[in-house]
Structure 1
Amino acid sequence: MLLSPFERTIAKRYLLPGRGEAFIALVASISIGVVMLSVAMLVIVMSVMNGFRAELLDKIVGLNGHAIVQAYGGRLDDWENVLQEVRTTPGVTEASPLIEQPLLTTFNGRVEAILVRGNTMRDISDLSSNVVSGNISELQPGEGNVAIGSRLAQNIGARVGDTITIINPQGRSTPFGTVPRQIGYRVAAIFEVGIYDYDQAFVIMPMQDAQTLLLIGDTIGMIEVQVTDPDRVSEILAPVTRSLAGRAVVSDWKTINSTLFEALQVERVAMAFALSFMVLVAAFNILSSLVMLVRAKTRDIAIMRTMGATRKSLMKIFVTTGFTVGAIGTVAGLVLGFIVLFFREPIVAFIGLVTGQNLWDPQVRFLSTLPSRTDPVEIALIVGLALFLSFLATLYPAWKAASTDPVEVLRYE
């Protein structure tokens, strides 16, 4: 909508009310503030929820893959052939043998439930970026070294170089009954993946050491699978599922974490719907400020009409005025939202310090830090919604201004 010099001048004049119009300026400023806060709130909430889902998915997939082929009974015989079959399936990028077993560990009189994972050397080396102390490369078969999660290390008081004892209740049979198997392992590295449950329980060791600890020989418990498209994992692994029917079950990340991710999706949609009403409230503020402006400028409007201003010109002037208020608020909201997202960790820490409450408890939130991931498409939708509602809010006041009868207004002037 192009404006003539006359229309542009009047619109600019109405955007910057004079000294005698302080109340109109205040209402317009409140409208900008409401639009800014509503847009910022939408950007912050949606980015944090997207970040939470994406971070959780990345970390879960980073440890468990996109899918797991798990044998009935916990032992996958002839696993080399099964592994080769999975690797040759179209769409599969990587498949690795994996052993996972819940056991107990003890150190200095403290006992904790753990989840022992036996990984290939390649999978172990992939954890190097998550190591907070020690050297993950020291985890070599037969060396008796392990890597433990940071929360587990805190709970039992273990540090790099200490020796922890892992207890396997399924020990060797003796004339006096089954004796639990207890083996000491040196802590070579401490890692932190960022998911509280994993950092609290996981003990990583070479697969050969896990087989020795669990007395399972040359067998494994499951195969970890990575695919090209996580959203099509069920479709990609459908041939494997049919081939291994009766021998193993294929569980993808959607099935394993279905309750969690479905709850996140429902909450995300509900929050977006609820917060969108804030933008609607902001649009009503723009409408009210424009109505007040039209009432205050009724005499000016009548004079402009008598001087030749058309109804279309008046419509364009007031639509431009209101839309500019919405646009300024939208841009300011985007800037505020990105600033809050950038400083989100210090802000959470400050609020927690002031209120005395732990606002981000890793035991409840799964992740140790507040994540954020901005989706450009969602940002575009938020901006589009704010601008569209701002435009709609200008139509009625602009129509009222264009419908002003100069004869009636100036009759008694």
Structure 2
Amino acid sequence: MKAVCLATAGLPAYIGGSCQPDQTSPCLILSPFEWTIAKRYMLPGRGEAFIALVAGISLVAVMLGVAALVIVMSVMNGFRAELFDKIVGLNGHAIVQAYGGRLENWREVLKQVEATPDVTRASPLIEQPLLGSLNGRVEAVFARGNTQADIQRLAPKVKAGSIAGVTPDSGNVAIGSQLAQNIGARVGDKITIINPQGQSTPFGTVPREISYNIAAIFEIGIYDYDERFVVMPLLDAQTLLLSGDTVGMIEVQVTDPDNVQQILEPVRQRLGGQAVVTDWRTINASLFEALAVERVAMFVVLSIIVLVAVFNILSSLIMLVRAKTRDIAILRTMGASRKSLLKIFVTIGFVIGALGTVAGLVLGLIFLFFRQSIVRGVEIVTGQNLWDPSIRFLTELPSRSDPFEIAVICGMALVFSFLATLYPALRAASTDPVQVLRYE
């Protein structure tokens, strides 16, 4: 590959194909001479093992920094996306809830919500904290009354039994997997739901107890839901709670969750004083805000690792320039231009950074692909539970890689690597051969 020079006339002589200092038009790529010198300096020679070691450490440091950023940002994105998909998938993008907890004219409100532009689905819902009992074990539960269509949406999450049997007046319910584990329940067992607000008698209020057959056990993937939810038909929930023909709320899904407030503003105005409209941001505000802050903080902290890595590139290049001062002076006396020396040392440092970036990207993607196996392996070795669903909300370590973010991480590493090469490259280019070779 010959050097590409823009001068069209009076081309000076080449030293192995490099452009001369008096050439006014810059070279666009490395000439064979420059690339040969760059490759020679990148490979360790005798007495240069320490420089090669520092360069290798620089490459590994860049690799680890990029891999850490890719892994952490993908896990954070996955955590937020999984929480959003599962929480919103179960509760909708917003809820319309009456003051006092009971929506009397819910059918009329439901029609108004469904007629609102950009609303894709609206469903009545009952959700009430109660007690569940089986074989003497008592747990706090959430009795959740859904329409038949909403109950069937749980079918992909069913781990045992069949959700098709959960129909009105069938006496069947579906419970979360963690709740089933806590009370020792299996498909076919009977769970007793206790409503403290039962019927009034001359001797006081008698709690209402109704036994239901467990037809299905589901796992949503969010620990709190799997530990508490008992899903039943809407009509059965109304009977259990003695609420008559009322519902607790209406869950709403829209085309654009990020603009849910603007989409439901007409509903909020029409139902002013009668019901309150709460969107997913308000319901889970503390959780998603904490995730956003943690995501930014982790990016900044882990970016420092990449910055430290490029300082290693800087130090290795400085040592290389000092070790090659005599060679640089000889090249200058033979006609090598300052620009050629600048390009040579910039190339050396940039190649180290680029190789580290590519290796880090590959390492990060491999870790993400085998993330669950790696977590289990570390748990076996350390004997510690690294991913406790009761603390982490989700049952498995999530991951969702954003190509734009990965491109930003790689671009940042490459830019830092390039900037780290400028100072030692300028030092090499400014070497005075007369001063260096005076006493040779």
TM bucket normalised to smaller: over 0.9
Say if 2:414 is the partner of 1:382.
no
Which among 262, 267, 271 is matched to residue 240 of structure 1? 267
Q: Which one is further off, 175-184 or 370-379?
A: 175-184
Where do residues 205-216 of structure 1 align in structure 2 (5 Å cutoff)?
205-216=232-243
Alignment partner of 1:74: what SS? coil
Point out the more displaced range, 148-157 or 339-348.
339-348
Q: How many residues align?
A: 413
Letter in 1 for 2:345: F
The answer as to 2:50 corresponding to 1:23 is yes
Hey, which of these two has a bigger chunk of helix by percent?
A: 1
Tell me whether 1:355 sits opposite 2:382 in the alignment. Answer: yes
- Select which of 305, 318, 321 maps to 1:294: 321
CA distance in 1, matches of 2:40, 2:350: 15
Q: Offset at 1:15?
A: 1.3
How far apart are residue 20 of structure 1 and its match?
3.0
Q: Is 2:36 the counterpart of 1:9? A: yes
1:167 aligns with 2:164: no
In 2, Cα distance between the equivalents of 1:353 and 1:216? 50
- Identify which of 100, 113, 127 aligns with 2:127: 100
1:24 Cα deviation after fit: 1.2
The aligned residue for residue 126 of structure 1 is 153
Q: Render the CA deviation track for 1:6-27: whole Å, top value 9, x for unaligned.
A: 1111111111122331111111
Q: Give the aligned partner of residue 59 of structure 1.
A: 86
Of 9, 32, 45, the residue aligned with 2:59 is 32
CA shift, 1:78, in A, is 1.1
Aligned partners of 1:90 and 1:375: how far apart in 2? 31
Other-structure match for 2:369: 342
The answer to whether the aligner puts 1:179 opposite 2:187 as a matched pair is no
What is residue 276 of structure 1 aligned with on the other side? Answer: 303
Q: Note the aligned Cα RMSD (angstroms).
A: 0.9
Q: How high is the TM-score relative to the length of structure 2? A: 0.93
Structure 2: stretches of 5+ with no match in the other structure: 1-27
Q: 2:137 aligns with which of 104, 110, 117?
A: 110
Percent identity of the aligned residues? 74
TM-fit CA distance, 1:209: 0.8
Indicate yes or no: 2:170 matched with 1:143: yes
The one of 345, 362, 370 equivalent to 1:318 is: 345
- Using the TM superposition, give the Cα deviation of residue 176 of structure 1 relative to its aligned residue in structure 2, in angstroms: 2.5
Q: Which amino acid aligns with 2:373?
A: P
TM-score (norm 1): 0.99
1:249-260 equivalence runs, <5 A: 249-260=276-287
Q: Give CA-to-partner distance per residue, 1:335-389, whole Å, 9 cap, x none.
A: 1111111111121122222222211111111111111111111111101110000
Please point out which of 113, 119, 122 is paired with 1:86. Answer: 113
Based on CA coordinates, which of the two structures has the bigger radius of gyration? 2
Unaligned runs of 5+ in 1: none
CA apart distance, 1:64:
0.4
Alpha-carbon distance between aligned partners in 2 of 1:298 and 1:177, rounded to the nearest angstrom: 98
Alignment-mate amino acid for residue 76 of structure 1 = L
Distance of 1:150 and 1:80 partners within structure 2: 33
Mapped to 2, the partners of 1:269 and 1:27 lie a distance apart of 31
1:304 Cα deviation from its structure 2 partner? 0.9
Once the two structures are overlaid, the 10-residue window that deviates more, 17-26 or 240-249, is 17-26
